[in-house]
Amino acid sequence: MGEAVLYEVRDHIAFITLNRPQAKNALNRAMRKELQTAYTDVKFNPGIWLAILTGEGDVFCSGKDLFEKVAPEDEDGSVMSNDELYIFQRNIYKPIILAINGPCLAQGGGFALNADILIMSERASLGWPQVKRGISSVSGPTLLPHAIAWNQAMGYLMRGKPIPAQECLRLGIANEVVPHEELMPTAERWAAEILENAPLAVHAIKEAARRGQEIPFDKRAFLARDVANRVLLSEDSKEGLLAFKEKRKPQWKGR
């Protein structure tokens, strides 16, 4: 993939690693470009059924690289902005697990709250410190008040205070908090448990849930039924029912 983002696919899992530890994995143009390429592959490559995103070093992501200067002619629209990246991630209908190895700040929080499963190291935290820099945030106010109670979200956002890993677990943001050395094994365990199931069915669950978040219940129900009916036509659907009948483990093909 490149130097700013490490990318590997094995056993239907895309492993994406933010790789600017010397800059606390701050998002610069090079990282945005490589992350865009990785996300595009995850979304459209039928051989990828799930993705795990983590960071190299002591910080998951410190947000936008505030010190980078990009020439106006280089911002030609070919590379997604920080905000466009997490919106694109939000609409990848495949499971995305974040293995948060350290502080996950600002734009990093956008990646976190648009993921599906959050595994946090005991050293990790989640926060939007922009108010301490005299600036505002996009991902913080648009995502955190919808993930936890309003007053809790405002309490952290307005003070620019990080949410420690154990508090993220208590608030329902994190799925699991583990000793640092167990972070990736735990993320891979979650991935393996998800991959025991039919990939197209798992993807359909996410698609119906994500697309239905902002619409009324009756429309959500019809949407979910349309997606479910589409999955019924798959080879995996026939295999799942046959394996259940024959009392054996199904062999998923993602078709």
pLDDT tens column, 40-91 = 999 999 999 999 999 999 999 999 888 777 777 667 778 998 889 988 999 9
The reply to whether 21 falls in a domain is yes
CA–CA gap between residue 24 and residue 129 (Å, rounded): 15
Domains of the chain: total? 2
Per-residue confidence (pLDDT) for residue 134, from 0 to 100: 86
**Same domain assignment for residues 190 and 132:** yes
Q: Indicate whether 254 belongs to any domain.
A: no
Based on the domain organization, do 10 and 74 belong to the same domain? yes
Assess whether pLDDT exceeds 70 at residue 140: yes
Q: Quick one: which of 159, 157, 165 has its CA closest to 125?
A: 165
My answer on whether 94 and 116 are in the same domain is: yes
Query: Tokens 């094994």, residue?
Result: 185
The tokens 């199931």 sit on which residue? 197
| Residue count (the chain) | 255
**Residue 227 sits in the same domain as residue 106:** no
Buried b (16+ CB within 10 A) or exposed e, 38-74: bbebbeeeeebbbbbbbbbbebbbbbbbeeeeeeeee
- Name the DSSP class of 181: G
Give 243 or 101, the one with higher predicted confidence: 101
Question: In this structure, are 231 and 185 located in the same domain?
Answer: no
In angstroms, what CA-CA distances link 60 with 26, 169, 185, 204? 9, 17, 17, 29
Query: If we measure between CA atoms, which residue out of 198, 235, 221 comes closest to residue 94?
Result: 198
The CATH number covering residue 65 comes to 3.90.226.10
Domain with 24, as residue range(s), is: 5-195
CA distance 122 to 212: 33
221 and 172 co-located in one domain: no
pLDDT higher than threshold 80 for residue 94:
yes
Determine the pLDDT at residue 210: 94
Radius of gyration over alpha carbons of the chain, in Å?
Answer: 19
In a shared domain, residues 176 and 64: yes
Calculate what percentage of the chain has a pLDDT beyond 70: 98
**Span 221-242, average pLDDT:** 85
Last residue of a domain, one of 195, 212, 231: 195
User: Is residue 224 domain-shared with residue 147, that is, in the same domain?
Assistant: no
Helix 217-232 to helix 235-246 angle (10° resolution) is: 80
Nearest residue to 109 via CA among 148, 73, 70: 148
Same structural domain, 100 and 188? yes
The answer to whether the CB of 137 falls within 8 A of the CB of 106 is: yes
pLDDT digits over 50-62, tens only?
999 999 999 999 9
User: Of 9-18, 129-138, 157-166, where does mean pLDDT reach its minimum?
Assistant: 129-138
- Which 8-state DSSP code applies to residue 141? H
Q: Are residues 91 and 135 in the same domain?
A: yes
Q: Is residue 251 part of a domain?
A: no
Q: Pick 213 or 173 by higher pLDDT.
A: 173
Q: What is the mean pLDDT of the chain?
A: 93
> 10 Å Cβ neighbour count for 233?
9
Identify the band that residue 227 occupies on the pLDDT scale cut at 50, 70 and 90. Answer: confident
Band the pLDDT of 1: cuts 50, 70, 90. Answer: low
Q: Are residues 117 and 154 in the same domain?
A: yes
Cα–Cα distance between 208 and 190 in angstroms, integer?
21
Q: Which DSSP letter does residue 186 get?
A: H
Task: Report the range of poorest mean pLDDT among 17-21, 65-69, 246-250.
Answer: 65-69
> What pLDDT band is residue 199 in, cutting at 50, 70 and 90?
very high
Which CATH number does the domain housing residue 222 bear? 1.10.12
Q: Residue 222: inside a domain, yes or no?
A: yes
* pLDDT greater than 90 at residue 2: no
